[in-house]
Structure 1
Amino acid sequence: MTRLSAFALGAALCASLTAPAVAQDVVDAVERDRRGDIVVEGDRIVDGEEVGRLGRDITPRPSTSQDPLARFQRPICPGVWGLSPENAQLVIDRMYDNAERAGVDINEDPECGANVWVIFVDDPQETFQQLRDENAFLVRGLDYWKRKAVTEQEGPVLAWNVIGIYNEEGMPVASPSETAAAATDARALGDGIPGNTVTTMSRTRTAIRQDIELSVMLVQRSAIAGLDAVALGDYATMRTLAQTRPPRRENAYDTVLTLFDEDDVSPPDRLTDFDLAYLQSLYSSREDRPSRMALRNVDELMEIEARAEE
């Protein structure tokens, strides 16, 4: 199911990439009680504290600990630009395989409109600036501060997510800054302060959810020499299906997010047990769970994956 775009960002890269290996089936060894908790039997083989430290390292801090983590609610549809059609398809197929393993809904329509873009260009920073100048649809949903945060990213990859805020019924909700501005106007006019009317908000459930509407990743062509389609697809999976960043410190566990780290002599070029468990944890939990309570079972999911591989 190839989804390629003809918009002009530069000449297509025709480098030959290695065909991907067949994605491993994930053995479902998860037992859930009526509350949805995960039960793992046997000796612990994963350090939960170290896993939590890595999870915090790669997850940008939300505005408050009460805000939920962003994720896709609609089925994903990846699109690749800047590779030959054959190699682009390999990356797309790999991303679909990964999404299914992680429990992310996929759009199987061959003509679906891409909401995940992986774009290979000569200069990601220059391309991003061009997109900003043209107010292209790929950046139209980013406010000033989010655009600024993209330009501050270092390395050969720029990635961002366009996020919409909704209530539990799926109705759009104003962002905190928009709500504050509206409240100021309402006070000036003597009107009531606007808000999001909910009936089920609690300590374990927020009043909102944060939906990733569009994910984009720009990759510098010169940085992919020696990488195959599986590596590119796996890295793109972690940067686009969740709001993540490369780790900023040394950690006890590996992640494919270090793929372009110049200081890492031999970074993993495949999704690690941690990576897969991170995505599975994100997408199996409630979409309105506060971020302070999210990703608490990544270590258990890693243990399940490790035991399945034994």
Structure 2
Amino acid sequence: MRRVLALWAIAAVVASTPSVGAAPPDTAKAKRVPEGEPIIVRPPSTEAERKREMREFTREVIRQPRMNQPVAKFFYPVCVAVLGLAPGDAEVVAARIRDNADALGVGAERKPGCVPTVRVAFMAPAAGPAASWLSMESPQLAHLAGYQRERVLGETGPVRAWNRIAVRDATGQAFRPQLGDQLRFPTFTEIEPLSRTDPIVTTEITGAAVLIARDAADGLTLGQLADYATMRALLGTGSPEGRVPAPTILTLFDDPAPPEGLTEFDRALVSELYNVSRNAKPRRVYNDIARAAVAAERSGRDGN
């Protein structure tokens, strides 16, 4: 039995690695209205109202970047590793995450021996409850800023996830020190921004970790688990709180009838982020995601 020791050496605590998510889709939890919950009939929103609602929901789902920074994303194809499941199940989950990354415009590295930049670990019951996995002093969080560690530790439920972020210049290059100087941020006059309204920096995700309590995965399909991990790894996201105005796999561990996989909102969330320039303002990203999600919704393509 072993615990997670470092971000880049994550190992699930396993006494055994049973098959998880083996239930076929038709045995998944059936959709239902919670008993006693009132049914309220509302008129359909106008397109402008729906875009505004989706934009605000997007702002809630995406973890807010620091002031004057764009939303972080991977700059290069991701290499995926899955731990804590039977080998066959682990490969199914990893393969689906790679397929998602390719389909959504992120890209996936498939060469054997690639260095994993996305690690998903299913934690055995022996690891204890999720609240006990990490602390402010945990070495695997040492690279995070204080506010980022607080985000991870403040998460509730059976999942803990975080991204490793590198701040770069507007073209995606690492900042370089001037002769005789230590590495520092440049002044506004040292970098020509790509746009007068966009930030002069980019933020690259260089690694992502997703820890999931294995017992919480019981009854869920491997596809659902892979799609959930995709959303948590490819951009900084958290579980939605309160009313959820669009289906999303991010409700997997909270919704009694979660989606069977990525929804149109989820696809818009990732693909639109990876479609805009690296230093696009967050507001532009939110608007593009909302517009794409509403367009897909209006076309009737979202069957979840």
Aligned counterparts, 1:29-108, within 5 A: 47-64=50-67, 66-108=68-110
Residue of 15, 18, 32 corresponding to 1:14: 18
Residue of 264, 283, 286 corresponding to 1:292: 283
Aligned counterparts, 1:152-301, within 5 A: 152-173=154-175, 195=187, 197-200=190-193, 202-261=195-254, 264-301=255-292
Q: Report the secondary structure of 2:71's partner residue.
A: coil
Given residue 280 of structure 2, which amino acid in structure 1 is its aligned partner?
A: R
Q: Report the secondary structure of 1:251's partner residue.
A: coil
Checking the alignment, whether the CA contact within 8 Å between 2:20 and 2:220 is kept in structure 1 is no
Q: CA deviation at 1:18?
A: 3.1
Checking the alignment, whether the CA contact within 8 Å between 2:20 and 2:218 is kept in structure 1 is no
Distance of 1:72 and 1:107 partners within structure 2:
12
The alignment's C-alpha RMSD in Å is: 3.0
Aligned counterparts, 1:127-138, within 5 A: 127-129=133-135, 132-133=137-138, 135=139, 138=140
The TM-score normalised by the length of structure 1 is 0.75
Quote the sequence identity (%): 29
Q: Report the secondary structure of 1:296's partner residue.
A: helix
Q: Deviations over 1:54-93 (max 9, x none)?
A: 10110122222x3200000011011111001100011111
Checking the alignment, whether the CA contact within 8 Å between 1:156 and 1:223 is kept in structure 2 is yes
Q: Deviations over 1:19-56 (max 9, x none)?
A: 889xxxxxxxxxxxxxxxxxxxxx96992122112101
Checking the alignment, whether the CA contact within 8 Å between 2:175 and 2:186 is kept in structure 1 is no
| Cα pair distance change 1:16/1:144, threshold 3 Å | closer
| Cα pair distance change 1:199/1:154, threshold 3 Å | same
| Cα pair distance change 1:164/1:277, threshold 3 Å | same
Structure 2 gaps of 5+ residues are 1-7, 26-45, 177-182
Checking the alignment, whether the CA contact within 8 Å between 1:57 and 1:249 is kept in structure 2 is no
Q: Report the secondary structure of 2:133's partner residue.
A: helix
| Cα pair distance change 1:251/1:140, threshold 3 Å | same
| Cα pair distance change 1:290/1:110, threshold 3 Å | same
The TM-score normalised by the length of structure 2 is 0.77
Q: Deviations over 1:167-199 (max 9, x none)?
A: 02433349xxxxxxx99xxxxxxxxx9636211
Q: Report the secondary structure of 1:195's partner residue.
A: coil
Distance of 1:20 and 1:286 partners within structure 2:
39
Distance of 1:222 and 1:118 partners within structure 2:
15
Q: How many residues align?
A: 263
Distance of 2:281 and 2:290 partners within structure 1:
19
Checking the alignment, whether the CA contact within 8 Å between 2:171 and 2:202 is kept in structure 1 is no
| Cα pair distance change 1:109/1:275, threshold 3 Å | same
Match of 1:126 in 2: 132
Q: Deviations over 1:116-149 (max 9, x none)?
A: 01111133333324x944x2xx434212332222
Given residue 262 of structure 2, which amino acid in structure 1 is its aligned partner?
A: L
